[in-house]
Chains A and B, each alone.
Chain A
């Protein structure tokens, strides 16, 4: 089945099996391996990307459901070589260790700050409930998001 979408600003069109998950399409067809798979129950959030301006778990969407969609992955978040403040925040506040959950965590944080530019600590923790991190204990992730929020103040 033919699907066409805009991924990180570029139009892509490919023939896929209907059962191809969006995350597979990104990783295997487009070689965008920054989006990760950490579970098979739509729980961990490592595969979080942005579709049409909203964060989604790309393991829980079929590629064919996203025909015509506009997609941003971690690879497309920086613009012209300048990191997004959330990316900077994660480095600045040591919000990552092994890095595996990080792309999804950053994309979820992006969604939060789109909707709530000045979140409280509790709002940040709640907004990230769909993203597991086994390394950081989340404390520095919260600080990373706060740091990013302050940058755009």
Chain B
């Protein structure tokens, strides 16, 4: 319950935060909502010497409809995304993933930026942002760069954000597939992290599946797009048998996590069940 001592810096702007990060290097950790970091610090699983708090920065907490995309500030909370009507309409998978995280109190405080920067393999968002073909705006002292979600998740706890950089915005394209997307979660009963989180964005055209993107959270070391499912359903009408047949490709060729509570076999099977259900929901 008692974190180790640390110094606390309240950044008042993104530039100040980046400057502080560069000044303190690996000694410093960035604090967004704090809902991954503070729990780890309480158990002394994390003992940073310094925290750089983004809570005081104005202008990172927004959800804006930009017409061709939705711009989400890194400090937007899960609750903001869950309850946002624009997200619900244009990217329901993101709203549903946000609404599946933790509990009400956690969603009130936890942020999308913090969650995506933390890149917990068992987090809800990653599969959703992959399926939504989102891109991440990362800022460093040299300016901003935009990284597609497909290049963002590098591995276990690892993202494209480099030391001294900050994830500042998430952009969700406003396309037909994203408007017809969903996120379904099969939760570990204690932590309620996903055993399987399956996000699917699917464009229906002429009674068959057009553009389709399938993203998984919780299943592997990091989130992934599942082209096996995508290729199998594309161009098909979506019904119980096509959905099942397509979903049975899920996780093919991929390592699937196992732990004391679930076997690899079970998690793989559930990925397929949830892929089928998600396909039927949006199909």
Contact = CB atoms under 8 A, between A and B. Distances in A.
A130 B105 contact: yes
Interface of A: 1, 17-19, 21, 37, 40-43, 45, 48, 51, 54-57, 59-62, 64-65, 67, 108, 111-112, 115, 127, 129-131
B96 to A, nearest CB: 13
B34 A54 contact: no
B53 A19 contact: no
B145 interface: no
B42 A21 contact: yes
Given A41-B43, A56-B109, A62-B34, 7 more contacts: A19-B2, A21-B1, A40-B39, A40-B43, A41-B39, A51-B109, A64-B53
Given A1-B8, A18-B51, A19-B3, A60 B38 contact: yes
A115 B107 CA distance: 14
Contact of A112 (B31, B35, B55, B104): B104
A27 B205 CA distance: 59
The dominant DSSP class at the B interface is mixed
Contact of B105 (A45, A65, A67, A115): A45
Interface in B8-59: 8, 10, 31, 34-35, 38-39, 41-43, 51, 53, 55
Interface of B: 1-8, 10, 31, 34-35, 38-39, 41-43, 51, 53, 55, 79, 83, 102-106, 108-109, 191-192
B8 A111 contact: no
A131 B34 CA distance: 19
B8 to A, nearest CB: 4
B104 A55 contact: yes
B155 to A, nearest CB: 25
Contacts of B108: 54-56, 111
A101 to B, nearest CB: 13
Contact of A111 (B7, B104, B106): B104
16 contacts: A17-B5, A18-B51, A19-B5, A21-B42, A40-B43, A42-B38, A54-B108, A56-B108, A60-B34, A61-B38, A62-B31, A65-B34, A108-B105, A112-B104, A129-B103, A130-B104
A131 B103 CA distance: 9
A62 B83 CA distance: 26
A45 B103 contact: yes
A18 B38 contact: no
Given A21-B1, A108-B104, A108-B105, A129 B35 contact: no
Given A37-B1, A54-B79, A65-B53, A48 B105 contact: yes
A6 to B, nearest CB: 17
Contacts of A17: 5
A42 B3 contact: no
